[in-house]
Chains A and B, each alone.
Chain A
Amino acid sequence: MAMLSIVYFAWVREAIGRDEEQVERLDPGRTVADLVAMLAARGGGYAEALGDTARLRAAVDQRFVPMDSLIGEAKEVALFPPVTGG
């Protein structure tokens, strides 16, 4: 079974309590928002971190993408708050 890596940063990482995990690869028609909803449904820290997609940003295979982007054959999805570097 092909796996998808999910990585978390900043308060998303802290609320979930881990910085990385693997899930079974989703149907290619699924979007980042679908993945976020699936994870948030686990409840607890996942619901806290991922319940409101307006507060989240995402990257697929190390490229920023909108939440409605297809995950397709990607290997890694990253979920995090808006960036605050510089």
Chain B
Amino acid sequence: MKRVAIQAEDFDVGGELAALEALGGGGVASFTGVVRGGNGLVALELEQYPAMTQAQVGRIVDEAMGRWPLLGVSVIHRFGRLEPGARIVFVGTASRHRTAALESCAFLIDWMKSDAPFWKKEHFAGGATQWVAARDEDAVKAQGWDS
């Protein structure tokens, strides 16, 4: 199973996990990213490159499925305006082996951060805005999987 969804709408984590569990592999790992509040943040705006996102995330999923023996992968990434506490991203993996499920899940979220065409803009109380700067450590983490 390979599921890639780029959407504005929220998603149901329980339903996504149930679909992965139903593959019968015995092991399911997942990561859910949520908008972090604080510092007066009122919303996070996620911009994407619509003509590229679906295909690029599909390539990242293909890479994971080539590296680990996976029965299923689900990746969901939202775009648009999201408030603190809102889910942004979901990565779920199913495998017969816990190591494959856990490692591929970590690989996928690292690569989503460094190789998927999304940009975050922070909106603060009072109207100030700021584009989030890419963190060097995210690129380093993704490159760490290259070996």
Contact = CB atoms under 8 A, between A and B. Distances in A.
24 contacts: A7-B49, A9-B47, A9-B119, A10-B121, A59-B49, A59-B117, A78-B52, A78-B117, A81-B119, A81-B134, A82-B134, A82-B139, A83-B134, A84-B113, A84-B120, A84-B131, A85-B48, A85-B77, A85-B113, A85-B119, A86-B77, A86-B109, A86-B110, A86-B114
A83 B116 contact: yes
Interface in A59-80: 59, 62-64, 76, 78, 80
A86 B116 contact: yes
B81 to A, nearest CB: 15
Contacts of A9: 47, 49, 117, 119
Contact of A85 (B51, B55, B112, B133): B112
A52 to B, nearest CB: 14
Contact of A84 (B56, B109, B132): B132
A44 to B, nearest CB: 19
Contacts of A81: 119, 131, 134
Q: Which 3 A-B pairs have the closest CB atoms?
A: A85-B118, A86-B113, A82-B134
Contacts of B120: 84-85
Contact of B51 (A10, A76, A83): A76
A10 B131 contact: yes
Given A10-B47, A86-B33, A80 B55 contact: no
Given A10-B131, A62-B51, A78-B49, A83 B89 contact: no
From A63, A80, A84, A86, name the one whose CB has the most chain B CB atoms within 10 angstroms. A86
